[in-house]
Amino acid sequence: MASTLKGLYGITGAEQGLEAVEAALTAGLCLLQYRNKTDREGVREAQALELLALCRRHGTPLLLNDDVELCARIKADGVHLGQQDLTLTAARNRLGPEAIIGITCHQSLDLARQAKEGGADYVAFGRFFPSSTKPEATAASPEILAIASRLLSLPIVAIGGINTENGASLIAAGADMLAVSEGLFAARDVAATASKLKRLFTADQSIQNQPQ
């Protein structure tokens, strides 16, 4: 599992069209998350099913934000949980051992340790930059990524205001995945932006492999 959780992690909502999502999937995402906090249940289910069909064609796991019951109903690949959502244990019991379950830890190593002990598949820290998706979120420091990468044998996600200009610093600090919403799907050319974000990981690996 951990070996597949590395790279660009797209987050899409009701406002993105399927064409933009497919462009990102074609360029290559390690995960896609569907996040929709506003529409009624029937609309969210219909959108999630459309995204699931796209993800299946591209071999990309689809996670749902918070909604464990919808995930179980449509047989999506897992969920991303916030600290105020259903507990990790309850989500795992409902979805089973194969589901991918990640959890937001803000800037708390204690929460990340609890998530690891509870069986999370990844932990997410952030926000690292100003974010229109969650403008009220508390800012996180890149140092948390460096510390977590040393202490946790678990994939680490950086989230919040990430784009092609600032993502490399978070990868260098220790992020295994960059979770990107507006910085990807609000781009004029989604495929080109996804490719550029993906290259940040390759560039970081090249730097690490250079002889000292």
Question: What homologous superfamily does CATH list for 2-206?
Answer: Aldolase class I (3.20.20.70)
Predicted confidence (pLDDT) at residue 188 exceeds the cutoff of 50 = yes
> Which pLDDT belongs to residue 130?
87
pLDDT in tens, 196-212: 999 999 875 544 544 44
Name the residue ranges covered by the structural domains of the chain: 2-206
> Which pLDDT belongs to residue 3?
53
Predicted confidence (pLDDT) at residue 18 exceeds the cutoff of 70 = yes
Predicted confidence (pLDDT) at residue 44 exceeds the cutoff of 50 = yes
Mean per-residue pLDDT, 42-65: 96
Predicted confidence (pLDDT) at residue 71 exceeds the cutoff of 50 = yes
> Which pLDDT belongs to residue 211?
46
> Which pLDDT belongs to residue 82?
92
Mean per-residue pLDDT, 85-94: 92
Give the three-class secondary structure for 100. strand
Distance of CA 115 to the CA centre of its chain: 16
Question: How many residues are listed for the chain in this entry?
Answer: 212
> Which pLDDT belongs to residue 185?
95
Closest Cα partner for 106 from 151, 136, 71, 68?
136
Closest Cα partner for 63 from 50, 81, 46?
81
> Which pLDDT belongs to residue 212?
41
Q: What is the DSSP string of 121-179?
A: SEEEEE--S--SSSTTSPP--THHHHHHHHH--S-EEEESS--TTTHHHHHHHT-SEEE
Predicted confidence (pLDDT) at residue 58 exceeds the cutoff of 60 = yes
133 or 62, which is more confident:
62
Kindly report the average pLDDT of the chain as a whole number.
91
